[in-house]
Structure 1
Amino acid sequence: MSRHLLSRAGLPLGMMGLLLAGATLSSATLADETRIRFQLDWRFEGPSAPFLMAVERGYFAEEGLEVQVDSGSGSAGAINRVASGAYEMGFGDLNALVEFLAENPDGPGIQGVYVVYDGTPAAVFARRDRGIESAADLAGKSLAAPAFDTGYRAWGIFAAANGLEADDVEWQNVDPTLRETLLVRGDVDAITGFYFTSLLNLEGRGMGEEALTILPFPDHGVPLYGNAIITSESFAEANPEAVEGFLRAFNRALAETLADPDGAIDYVLARDGLIDVAMETRRLKLAIESVIDTPDARANGVGAVDEARLANAIQLVADAYDLPEVPATERVFTSRYLPAEEARMIFPAQGD
């Protein structure tokens, strides 16, 4: 008989003990990880790259987090799923969050914790051949957008900032799948949509920038913020280290995305092998150029808000959306979980 007692699997019992101890330690490590279900606002597209990178490169895991990133169907859906507890965190339009909080004053607290889009991506796309070269030229023209579109809903803010009355244009509420087609066919003079979505959709239908006058809302006096990472107050208060760790990991991945957007698209492709890589790379770069890499974000660090600007934006949204109340800034956003300012100075030198 062997000098070593054997287990049924043929391993010495001493080795079995070591393996069991290792398995127990591994199980304990897994048990110590905080699970976060994260809801995106839309499909797996270029701008989702830093979230997916942070998962695949293990940045979340290094923070003791087990993160599941799911595609979404709009900001309202992401906010509602976080509010319901189905997801711990999400990505959604801060203006939609203002609306949710105003309409649910006694509901679950949801806050933005890291602003990714320093400006709203909303823009007007107008046909040059209709004589539209500036915002003033929109008077008397026809515009189309879905009823939920930020550009449509915030039109009053854009109009006031550019010397127009809200009713100076004729609006058509249309299905989102028809919006760009109507402009290409000439059925309307202009549309509103997200800059990095409608532009690519129009180009795909044969209408390039040379045929368009593009009026991004942030460049035309609209101070609204765009999308932010959101979480429920109850989850954040119970798991502050987890929220801080999530933001550190995301901040790290965003810095690498800004440095190499072409490489970052690989992580989107890994989640959806059917994406058009060239298109999603361009979408990501357009998002970076238009609403992420802004003068404010460069000056103050990505992720944070200017409180005076936020208060003004909340009031503007409350007025434009005809909300029943005006949520306080601290209900909409908190900076308590953000990485330090120096860690958020992540933009490559201009010209790189």
Structure 2
Amino acid sequence: MIFRRSTLALAAAPLFAPAIARAQRTPVRFSFDWIYNGPYAFGAAAEREGYFREQGLDVTITRGFGSARVPIDMSAGTFDIAACDPTPLLRFMSQNPNNDLLAVGLMWDQAPGSATVRADGPITQVSQLAGKTLAAPEFDGGRQVFPVFARLNGIDPASVNWMSVAPELREVMLVQRRADGITGFVTSTALSLKALGMDLPAQRIFRYREHGLDFFYGSVILTTRTFAQRNPEAVRGTVAALLKGLKYSFHNRAAAIQALRGKEPLTDVAIEGTRQDMAMQELVDSPNVRRLGLGIIEAPRLERQIAAVKEAYSLGEMPSVDRFHTDRFLPPAAERML
């Protein structure tokens, strides 16, 4: 009888081993700022390749609902670390000076915001967006950055009529000519319009970075000072795993999309592969990244972004560079080179 019980215990041990291993890893709740699609396939790749496990972490990745929601949800304790556009983040930090937020790395060196109109329509230059109707969700990153883009291009932001719509209806408004244009991340809008029958030649895309916002950063890795103080190794490990996943996905695009499909079975491989390529080309790979490696935020450039956001939104006191960001959680430079 003793022998039988011992045998059963030994047989059951492998079944409990994964649960025990997970219990020994530090749990981290991570959120992207939008739906889990091609540009974020590197998160799924980091999971599949075991990069979080290597850091002793049990990371749960969820989708987001727009960058403007991220600082609100982060402050409410909904998650521990997240991706976020710096512009709505800076605005939130200015309007909530007692916030506990802290950027600990850079995900996208270039800004993804854009305004898109029909190529067969009357709007042929940025200045003609004045007085027009643009459709976007209220929390949309492109909409959040639009006032900065508008002012730099001589447009009164107040002249634009906004049509607030659910994310799944944004592109429909342009296809059906119910709006003059839409805003959003170019990686989202361009391919979503294509899926609705409006291919890239039928779109006229005004990328913000090509119209005055070339110095804007696109997406930072955000946490809170409290979480970072209590869990410094978890923050350091999450940042390292994310950047390692981004580097892996840059060089292994198809494998990253398959990892995404493993998490999201309904993934359209062709569309999301193209979306990922666009993100890698337009947002990740830049002269700055080639020079400095992934993850680096430079103070002079960030100061320009802070000043531009302050002016566009007529904000009061803004966070300093040191208050907004720290690089002490980044992995060594050799690990970050693309």
1:51 is the counterpart of 2:43: yes
Partner of 2:323, secondary structure, is helix
| One-letter amino acid of the structure 2 residue matched with residue 53 of structure 1 | A
**TM-score (normalizing by structure 1):** 0.84
Give how far 1:61 is off.
Answer: 0.9
Distance 2:157 2:228 in 1: 43
| Percentage of identical aligned residues | 33
Give how far 1:10 is off.
Answer: 4.9
Distance 1:175 1:156 in 2: 18
Q: CA distance change for structure 1 residues 255 and 167 in 2, over 3 Å: closer, same or farther?
A: closer
1:262 is the counterpart of 2:258: no
| Structure 1 counterpart of 2:164 | 174
Q: CA distance change for structure 1 residues 212 and 10 in 2, over 3 Å: closer, same or farther?
A: closer
**TM-score (normalizing by structure 2):** 0.88
Give how far 1:6 is off.
Answer: 4.1
8 A contact 1:149–1:193 mirrored in 2: yes
Distance 1:168 1:101 in 2: 23
Where do 5+ consecutive residues of structure 1 fail to align? 347-352
Counterpart among 144, 149, 159 of residue 140 in structure 2? 149
Q: Deviations over 1:239-288 (max 9, x none)?
A: 22222222222222111100021110111111111121211111111111
1:289 is the counterpart of 2:285: no
8 A contact 1:44–1:271 mirrored in 2: no
8 A contact 2:88–2:145 mirrored in 1: no
Give how far 1:338 is off.
Answer: 0.8
Distance 1:280 1:77 in 2: 24
8 A contact 1:184–1:205 mirrored in 2: yes
Q: Deviations over 1:1-35 (max 9, x none)?
A: xxxx94451559xx98xx99x99999986555222
Distance 1:153 1:199 in 2: 18
Partner of 1:337, secondary structure, is coil
Give how far 1:142 is off.
Answer: 4.3
The equivalences for 1:11-22 within 5 A come to 11=7
* Larger Rg, first or second structure (1 or 2): 1
1:113 is the counterpart of 2:104: yes
1:132 is the counterpart of 2:128: no
Partner of 2:221, secondary structure, is strand
Counterpart among 91, 94, 103 of residue 95 in structure 2? 103
Give how far 1:331 is off.
Answer: 2.3
* 232-241 vs 251-260, greater mean Cα deviation: 232-241
What is the RMSD computed on CA atoms of the aligned residues? 2.9
| One-letter amino acid of the structure 2 residue matched with residue 69 of structure 1 | I
Distance 2:19 2:265 in 1: 32
Q: Deviations over 1:279-337 (max 9, x none)?
A: 11111111111111122222221211121111111222233234343111222221111
| Structure 1 counterpart of 2:190 | 199
* 242-251 vs 29-38, greater mean Cα deviation: 29-38
| Structure 2 counterpart of 1:40 | 32
Partner of 2:46, secondary structure, is helix
1:9 is the counterpart of 2:5: yes
| One-letter amino acid of the structure 1 residue matched with residue 269 of structure 2 | V
Give how far 1:130 is off.
Answer: 2.8
Counterpart among 292, 300, 312 of residue 292 in structure 2? 300
| One-letter amino acid of the structure 1 residue matched with residue 186 of structure 2 | Y
Give how far 1:38 is off.
Answer: 1.2
Give how far 1:153 is off.
Answer: 3.4
Distance 1:49 1:335 in 2: 24
